[in-house]
Structure 1
Amino acid sequence: MCERQHRRGLLGESTPDETACPPWRFPAAPGIPLAGMRGVSLLIYRVYSKAGGRYGRWEAEIGVDRLLYTCGAMAKRATKRGPSGGGGSGGGSGKSSGGEGPGVQTRAMILHGKDPFLRSLHTDKLREALSEAGVDAEVMRFDGASAGVADVLDECRTLGLMQQHKIVVVDEADEWLKDGGAGARPRDVVERYLESPSETATLVLRAETWHKGKIDTLVAKCGCVIKCEKPDDRTAASWAVQRAQKRYGVVLERDAAAALVSLCGAELGRLDTEIAKLSSAGEGGVVTAALVREMVGYSREQAFWDVQEALLSGDAEYALRKVRELMTVSRLPATLVRYGMLDVARKLHAASRMLAEGAHPAAVSKELKLWGVTKEPLLEGARRCGVGKGAAAVRLAVEADLAAKTGLGDEDRGAEVAALGLVRLVGGGR
């Protein structure tokens, strides 16, 4: 009888016969938000079912009472300082104190774009924001290609016994929301959930491709929608400076950040990896441009263009030094160097023939897809070498590639000799 009175006091009303009114239908106690009890209902239902549909034993009643007491206390804490923040309203702009982005009031979030590092980074920011607010969060991950909508949303509504908040992440969310045929459309089900999302969970939808719709509008009301695309070079350099200071506790100089981006490109994932490596090598907690050039290798894309730029420079000494640097410092495979030579030789020969036939340089550039730093040097080299030397360049590049693939001579030395021959054909040694 004492236990029943305790339950009546917690729920704020007289307790009817347990067999007539299951406990999961009881309203929340005064002062405890009803949304805070939604996730409790499934847990209470499971305890009730395991007891055989009725509470015939005193131990079962104690178990339910303790469960209700624990969940009620957790709901009160969430109302005061937890992720609901605004008194359990479930609204909020989804902005943290530092500006736009995930915060303690975020109930849903869409992260879409081709940069997986940014998608993971914003997910980590959400967890860090909750942790700073004193909320213990658990991350649950689902594969959108195989997970059911009901499974994910049940996880959002179910309150954890140990953690105060759940971060439910759905990868490949575009696949997760696809219409599966019979039954309710997944988008409609998710939209109904987002109209009144759980106060004790944040639904994070992550996808490389995303089709904007009503879900975006609903998420913007209770969270944020973030596009995770590759930034430009200036933005990436600024990000690298801040990342080095906040994450690794080192000072990345501005010129060092610019040099790092020029070597790695604006790929934040690789920039973060290189900053972590540089942070352990910088003297006095400072990373200089010289250290970056010494320790960071080229990305393969950047190295490919550098090979071609060196070959078209007409400077034999510079070309040889660049090829050696790429193969020894940046550890660029000789195969890629030879491919760069073949590409340059092929374009030189084709451009020289088209120019000899009277084609306009703009038409030549369009036909051969010339762009970037190698466009003008290649057109100038084609004018200097003519059709005859252009054909000789192709022959030289093919013979060097054949020799390397058949084991004739040292592969690296063969690439260096071929590079010198191409430079002489293009413009002569200087």
Structure 2
Amino acid sequence: MAKKKSDASDGVEGSGGLEPTKPYVVLARKYRPATFDDLIGQSAMVTTLRNAFASGRIAQGYMLTGVRGVGKTTTARILARALNYEAPGYDKPTIDMPGLGAHCKDIMEGRHPDVLEMDAASNTGVDNIREIIESSQYTPLVARTKVFLIDEVHMLSKGAFNALLKTLEEPPAHVRFIFATTEIRKVPVTVLSRCQRFDLRRVEQPVLAEHFQKIVGAEGASADADALQLIARAAEGSVRDGLSILDQAIAMGEGHVTAAKVRDMLGLADRARIFDLAECLFRGDVAGALQGLSSLHRDGAEAAEVVSDLAEAVHAIARVKAVGEEPAGEGLTAEEKARLKDLAGRLSMPYLSRAWQMLVKGFEETARAPNPRVAAEMVLIRLAYTSDLPTPDELIRALGGGTVSARRPALPAGDGGGAADQRQPLNSRAAAQVAESFDDEAGDAFEFDDGEPIGDDEDDGESPSAFPVANPRSFEEVIALTSAKRDVKLTIHLEDHVSLVKFDAAAGSIDLFLFPEAPPELPNELREKLNAWTNRRWVVLLSKEAGAPAVGAVRRQREAAELESLKAHPAVRAVLEAFPDAKIAEVRRITGRDTDTDSESEAV
């Protein structure tokens, strides 16, 4: 006896042996709803069930579907409790349950003899369903209704579903079926048609955060509002997932939950730092963007999550721009709302749409890349370098002879940018970019006067007069540039195998019609080489109808006309008559002679 007494007294440290230690119950179980009033975020379902019970229109089967942790099994148990609620003054099924009835505790704890729970994930066969069918023929032992609660019902085999159909359609009066599933598409239509279906919604982030605040207070702990918002955001509408994270956060913070500790625990990126990173990308600051990514990665944020958070930031900006601050500001702090509003006012919707598409594609690349951080860096570099590309509508206006926007937004930075919608002719902007490029990369001193580059005479022996082809103002100058670059193949194609439809030097656009002899990749080749040679952006478009004749054909026609004109000259005609076998091999234009005409020609 002495030994037994010693065992009892040593069972609880610090309790004096008077009480046994109570096992810890996680928050997800401790605060599981017991009534429909305790359910959060499912008001539509509760209203429907309340009206149905009040009018006596209780179905023989219910199908509860929704994401994990949203409350399917809990709702099923509350529904089973409502069907069997017995208390003074309550002798029929009711949604309103003011206190514990005769069967409530056993039902909520899953041990009532007339409420049979089955996990279809481990009981998938026909034999398991046959047991249910046989049991349904007997009246309840102590309760009003025998309830069969089948969780993860989509896991049942095809034979088990078929065996259940007849009993589900015409069950005994004392039997009700409640099914729960996360994969509603895997449930046969024949089963769905015999049940009333309720889709449990994801719980909204503000509702979850408010719910977590109440639980934190009940636990005697404290939590910052931002921390609860982060937990609600990470839960993605799942109450159980959120409570599990909150449980861990309370333990980590020793009773006080802070946003910083939640971020460290979950590997989340600070939203303010995400906005800083986004602004670097919007203004084309590649170095700042890569430094921001490196800082976030060093502090524990995953590369793919950073790209995902950037996409969410772009989405939030687009929502604010489209519908205003209030509808788009759920779960955001006042500071974040102000920042979103400021960004939305300075960024265009086409640009935001393009950034969103690039980030979504980039997230897929990062998620499957062998080195996610490297992949994320490439995503940021691409996005930063496309920050000043014209949007499709601006490109259309540019092709019509207008100007395009300098798309790189002038966000707050030390580089002294201008207004976000500042417009300037494309050739002037290109000239500035060329100047910057030569200054940074080549170290050569170049100045620009009205978009024209001026170089010194010592650069590869060419004089400044040779440079206009570096910024061609006509299609002929484009051909001259390809010839100067000794790209013979491209020059021949441009001279003889294309028809010029439109040339806009200011917008940097060329509209061509390809003859059959031209290769289909010619437009892309021309665009890429012009971009490299001129240090500005060009757009080469294809037209369905021909425009001007080929440059080479026009030149040959002109030369033939000149040749015929020369042959008609008295002196040339006399030479040809004196030498019948002679022929004119080449016509050379004489320059630098003081003549009365603009130019003179001599025949050789």
Structure 1 length-normalised TM: 0.43
Higher relative contact order (CA 8 A, sep 6+): 1
Max Rg structure: 2
Higher helix share: 1
